[in-house]
Amino acid sequence: MPDYEQHILYVFPGQGSQYAGMGSDLHEEFAVARKVYAEASEVLGYDIAELSFEDPEDKLNLTRYTQPALLTHSVACLEIFRELTDDRLKPAIAAGHSLGEYTALVAARVLSFESALKLVQKRGELMGTHGEGEMSAFPLALDVIRPIAEKHRCAVAGCNLPEQTVVGGRAEDLEMVEQEVQEQFARKRPVRLKTEGAFHTYYMDKAAELFRPVLEEASFGSAEARVLSNYTGGFHEDDPATIREGLYYQLFNPVMWHANLLTAFGAGVKMIFEFGGGIGSAETPDGKRPNLEGMIKRASKAAEYEAQYRSAINAPTIRETADFVNNPEAS
């Protein structure tokens, strides 16, 4: 690899990037993916492969199932990539959007795959059971949308870009926010997100309190890469207690994704790899697009910062990205 080998960032998406059929191509083509799905099914107590590939009972979009499914898919993508590249590429930094932060901790070896599965299984269950409300993404800056949101008892749930802020609240309150935004900014159209609650807002307080003892029981190891915290926007400290606190606060505080990216840029990241999930209307995995690519490229452009980007979200892109790593001179 070129001289930026130690300036690599691995990123992982969160909810909203799941789809029926996710991982089916990986399971068919790669033995290591079958191993990942088998391990996940044993830990979870149900067939995560069947749920992800076929979704026979229409459960994939329920938070308690979405989160383990996405974690499993992202880890499968990562493990295939590691196998195809002889695991010689070592990221300096790992980051994930919301749920993806847990996958980043797995990638950095802070959490084992088993531990992360158990955590997100309980996290998803608590968020789905005790959460309420909905979420909308607004193409507006934080200081513009926040007073409108708070006027209608809603809260900021995510700061994805300087001009993209996510807001959460009860459906009727969120409608008032959307209406006021349309009146003030006719061309700034909000997008309602498909979630079971107003995640990363005070509507998750009860879920967070019930999740806290679950975090206390989890084992955290020494990091092999620095991991970014959604809660602070900066790096997690090495202390497991501090990491637990960050994951606890993440449940009911905004995801500081743009700050995460700026922190990575400030650390000198030159190459970004995205693993897992997929968005778009295509019905098969090979037609899906990466979830985080647009935000990453817009953030780097706004910051006038150059970093190469590659995705590894399905069989074709994993092979292409592995070929790039194995034969950089040909790329």
204: which DSSP letter? G
* Sign, CA torsion 111/241/93/300: positive
3-state secondary structure of 95: strand
Q: Residue 263: which of 224, 240, 233 has the closest Cα?
A: 233
H or E element at residue 215? helix 205-217
Q: Residue 96: which of 115, 80, 111, 81 has the closest Cα?
A: 111
H or E element at residue 71? helix 63-84
Quick one: residue 45, left, alpha or beta (phi over 0 = left, psi -120 to 50 = alpha)? left
What is the rounded end-to-end Cα distance, in angstroms, of the chain?
11
Q: Which amino acid is residue 45, in one-letter code?
A: G
Distance in angstroms (rounded) separating the CA atoms of residues 146 and 42: 43
Catalytic residues: 98, 200
Angle formed by the axes of helices 100-107 and 240-250, to 10°? 160
Write out the two tokens for 219: 């084992």
128-141 residues labelled b (16+ CB within 10 A) or e (exposed): bebbebbbbbbbbe
